[in-house]
Amino acid sequence: MTQNKPPSTAVRIFSICLIPFIGFLVLRFYFGQPPTNDATPNQISSGAPKVVTVASTIQPITKPLTTPPTQLPVVPEIVPNTTLTVEPTDPPPTPPSIIVSAESGLNVRGGAGTSYPITRVAPNGQQVELSGASENVDGFVWVQLTEGGWVQKQYLKQE
């Protein structure tokens, strides 16, 4: 049986150089001839001048080349040493004072009606503030206090 000898160094170098050269030839054939420096864009490969006629019309510019600045808002002129006079407005009307008018004090209840428990007793002459809520229970008008609780309206007087 005979053994195959490895190729010599010269054969290896030749094949290493041959493969890229063959690749270069294939690519050159695929992409065609590169242009030469003596050709101009207006010449055909035969050397005859090529005449190109471009039909175009020039349109006038209808809009300005730059956009005009935007209109700035008008700011009132500030004059130094100007005194402004502000007229006082009427203060909001104060609600009338509501006073407890019960000699032995007024029972403040947890709800509108005598069936609710007494939470405290407001002394005679104490000023109270009403929330605006009212109910008619058992023939009596009950009003709600802003600090909580209900009292009979008949024991309150307005000053």
How far, in Å, CA of 68 to CA of 75, rounded?
Answer: 20
Considering the domain boundaries, does residue 30 fall inside one? no
Question: Mean pLDDT throughout 19-28?
Answer: 82
Number of domains in the chain: 1
Report the CATH number that the domain containing residue 120 is assigned in CATH.
2.30.30.40
Amino acid 52: pLDDT: 58
Tokens read off for 140: 């009596």
* Percent of the chain at pLDDT exceeding 70: 64
Considering the domain boundaries, does residue 115 fall inside one?
Answer: yes
Answer yes or no: is 124 within a domain. yes
Instruction: Give start and end residues of each alpha helix (H) in the chain.
Output: 9-31
CA distance 135 to 129: 16
